[in-house]
A and B are shown apart, each in its own frame.
Chain A
Amino acid sequence: NAGVTQTPKFQVLKTGQSMTLQCAQDMNHEYMSWYRQDPGMGLRLIHYSVGAGITDQGEVPNGYNVSRSTTEDFPLRLLSAAPSQTSVYFCASSYSQAGASTDTQYFGPGTRLTVL
């Protein structure tokens, strides 16, 4: 199993550009999520999905879109990048939601994004 994979590893964008961060998992997990990690602020939830076709907003969703057409893939789209979106982005998956079981989350290696 590859686990959770993310591409690209690094990306530099100019303000106003758009891009998609890719995330895939091969563990047949229903629950997937996107976090951003900034110094001193820990991991903050952007969007999450409890299964194919279902997505919802997390703590910091503004400026980001997601979709979940398959169980395996959960791409994150930045429609018009802003310097405030400079961060490290992590995708994670688990068998179910946090409260539904004691399942743990598996994280991808992250994407380091810089917006100039």
Chain B
Amino acid sequence: SQKIEQNSEALNIQEGKTATLTCNYTNYSPAYLQWYRQDPGRGPVFLLLIRENEKEKRKERLKVTFDTTLKQSLFHITASQPADSATYLCALADNYGQNFVFGPGTRLSVLP
């Protein structure tokens, strides 16, 4: 069956450290993968997209990797700040290329 999993429901880290979130998928062949941020009471907001032929993508303090052999994407936030506390969702296109499928999300808390 098809599945998208994010490694943990919640992750607590100390301010200034690097947060690493994991997204694993099964029985999908995505051409790209996206990461979204969701704050409480709000809709998800797009952060980064990485294509299957890209190993790594960076945007300011964010870095995403994509390993199609392992069927895994890692999302890193360097020099984390309390303002980075949110739920982070990964998403990919389904095998019909019609719709996005979302992982359950990881709730990140950055402690001062």
Contact = CB atoms under 8 A, between A and B. Distances in A.
Contacts of B102: 35, 42-44
Interface size class of A (residues with CB under 8 A): 20 to 34
A42 B89 contact: yes
Nearest to A97: B98
Contacts of A106: 46
A107 interface: yes
Size class of the B contact interface (CB-based, 8 Å): 20 to 34
B97 A43 contact: no
Contacts of B43: 4, 90, 92, 107-110
Interface string A1-19: 0001000000000000000
Given A90-B43, A104-B34, A107-B43, A41 B49 contact: no
Given A97-B99, A98-B93, A110-B43, 14 more contacts: A42-B102, A42-B103, A43-B44, A45-B101, A90-B43, A90-B44, A92-B43, A97-B97, A99-B94, A99-B96, A99-B97, A99-B98, A104-B34, A106-B46
Interface of B: 4, 9, 31-32, 34, 41-46, 49, 51, 89, 91, 93-94, 96-105
Interface of A: 4, 33, 35, 40-45, 48, 58, 90, 92, 97-100, 102, 104-110
